[in-house]
Structure 1
């Protein structure tokens, strides 16, 4: 397969992943009108295991990919990942999908100072500007939330910010895990831990849902699993850093879902905040000045489509997909 064709396939898969994950967010937003967050976390995680395990079998990775020599790392990653999912879904319960999506884009921006502190990575002026712009966008969203009646929007912004902060840690932690653990191992154990965390809320009361309401929960789980698969298949064909800008197509879908399904849109100040955070996240995706262009790995290497779930080597500064933590 030619390099150009592999790249075009990677772009298509990344765009598909962005659509699937945004559709999952819209499903969570709809489900949150009737179900508590813990119930949504359980079904999102438990049902996502179905497509993930089927795909691992198709790739001849099951059950070999489930072996791990570092269970403690999975427990830490899964715990923080489950908390970040919780905050993401709480944000979606109170905010339009586009606002919550924009706050999620803040995660790679917040990863920068954390990576500089924990991993010793260098911060450039462009990256510092991205951090400042991202926080400016948060302030705009928070200002709009505080001007609305009730505390729901403010809770949503706070939860979205907590999600981004937690995901910044999860990204750095996952980056260290990929040196020894495969993507499928990380995804599987995260889903298991998150499902167990959601199940612990059962004694506190789950909602009795109609078939239509439960369909939103089922859809969220299946879309989340399929989105993870599409994202990993894209990364198997092209470097993560090259594909990252295409993730922001999800914002178009988010605005469309808000308008067509929920008949709502962010206000003018909210749109300014959404735009500021999106631009900040795009700045993070820019390659460093003087960096060599990244190329997909040749066919047969761990980054090729023939081994989509094996450990991949990522270019310096590339960020892992967040598909498994939403």
Structure 2
């Protein structure tokens, strides 16, 4: 995207902008690969065990990143410990629902449900904050929710009810709702707290929370299962770092459209690893959700400007 000087001449974007966009796409790909690892680990391991490994292993690259930036351990000091606890608890619940959704749904459908979060924020704002979003934003939100119906139709229309899909979609909707709440807390924290510090405490709380599920039965961590568990942690931690560095190099509004490459990554992994694509109705529903989220994001940027 080119820039224009006061004289009307075209100016090439700074190299940091391209680096930021590249890092944002990399972060999205890493998160998608993390989801693939979670999906494969869920064949043997329960959700709590996956959450522990994903979060505990992620602490290693996060701590290394903070150390390279000279923010460890000094950067872990905070004046708002309760804010980190609230953000992390919302994130912990969102992660649990996300991993439950991934264990039942193709990666692309689970990824699409993640884009419900900004649509749910609109509903919360209308009901509890008495905000009045524009007509186009409201219409986009309704279209997004209709997309959920299209995703559910194949499970409801068959001769026998596919409870796995129903559970997966329900978990995905719950994940989007708790993610919306977590994002509100993150927004508050970023006013005073470095992103790396927020990521550290989030991973720490989720690791401890996941560990508490050990008495309820964990799978043997050997062979392929161990590889997927470690892979989920490493890619999750590296994705947070890439996203942080992307935001440091380019405006958030510039990076936002590249979040939607998550669907391309997820569909690619579905095809390459599992040899499948969503059925047409489910794919239509996923497209409606992602498109509606994009319209809402554009409308929000215009409102703020």
Q: What TM-score does the superposition give when structure 2 sets the normalisation length?
A: 0.90
1:264 alignment counterpart = 276
Structure 2 residues not aligned, in runs of 5+:
1-11
Q: Separation in 1 of the partners of 2:302 and 2:102?
A: 39
**Given the alignment, which residue of 2, 17, 22 partners 1:7?**
17
Deviations 1:195-244 (A, max 9, x none): 11100100000001332111011001100011111111111111112211
CA distance in 2, matches of 1:35, 1:289: 41
Tell me if the contact between 1:10 and 1:238 (Cα under 8 Å) persists in the aligned partners. Answer: yes
Q: Distance in 2 between matches of 1:33 and 1:129?
A: 39
Residue 84 (1) aligns with residue 91 (2):
no
Instruction: Show the counterpart of 1:184.
Output: 196
Q: Which residue of 2 aligns with 1:323?
A: none
Higher helix proportion (structure 1 or 2):
2
CA distance in 1, matches of 2:267, 2:52: 26
1:214 to 226, 231, 241: 226
Q: 2:255 & 2:297 partners in 1: Cα distance? A: 9
Shift of 1:145: 2.7
Change in CA separation of 1:87 and 1:18 when aligned onto 2, cut-off 3 Å? same
State whether residues 102 and 277 of structure 1, in contact with CA within 8 Å, keep that contact through their aligned partners in structure 2. yes
Query: How many matched pairs?
Result: 292
Secondary structure of the residue aligned to 1:225 is helix
Corresponding residue number in structure 2 for 1:32: 42
Choose the corresponding residue for 2:266, options 254, 259, 282.
254
The residue number in structure 1 matching 2:67 is 57
| 1:81-120 superposed matches below 5 A | 81-115=91-125
Report the Cα distance in structure 2 between the residues aligned to 1:205 and 1:34, rounded to whole angstroms.
11
1:241 matched to which residue of 2? Answer: 253
Question: Conserved in 1, the CA contact under 8 Å of 2:196 and 2:244?
Answer: no
Instruction: Give me the TM-score of the superposition, normalised by structure 1.
Output: 0.85
Q: Are residues 289 and 47 of structure 1, via their aligned partners in 2, closer, same or farther at CA, if it must alter by over 3 Å?
A: closer
Cα distance in 2, alignment partners of residues 228 and 104 from structure 1? 17
In the TM superposition, what are the counterparts of 1:135-284 in structure 2 within 5 Å? 135-147=145-157, 149=160, 150-284=162-296
CA distance in 1, matches of 2:131, 2:196: 27
Against the structure 1 CA distance between its residues 240 and 121, is the aligned structure 2 distance closer, same or farther, given a 3 Å change threshold?
Answer: farther
**Corresponding residue SS for 1:236:** helix
2:44–2:225 contact (8 Å) kept in structure 1: yes
TM-aligned CA deviation for residue 263 of structure 1: 1.8
Q: Is the 8 A contact 2:19 2:246 kept in 1?
A: yes
The offset of 1:76, in angstroms, is: 1.3
Q: Secondary structure at the match of 1:164?
A: helix
Name the structure 1 match of 2:6.
none
- In our comparison, the structure showing a higher alpha carbon Rg is 2
| RMSD (Å), alpha carbons | 1.9
Q: CA deviation at 1:262?
A: 1.2
Contact 1:87–1:162 under 8 Å retained in 2: yes
CA contact (8 A) 2:47 2:96 kept: yes
For structure 1, which runs of at least 5 residues remain unmatched after alignment? 292-315, 318-326
**More displaced stretch, 58-67 vs 153-162:** 58-67
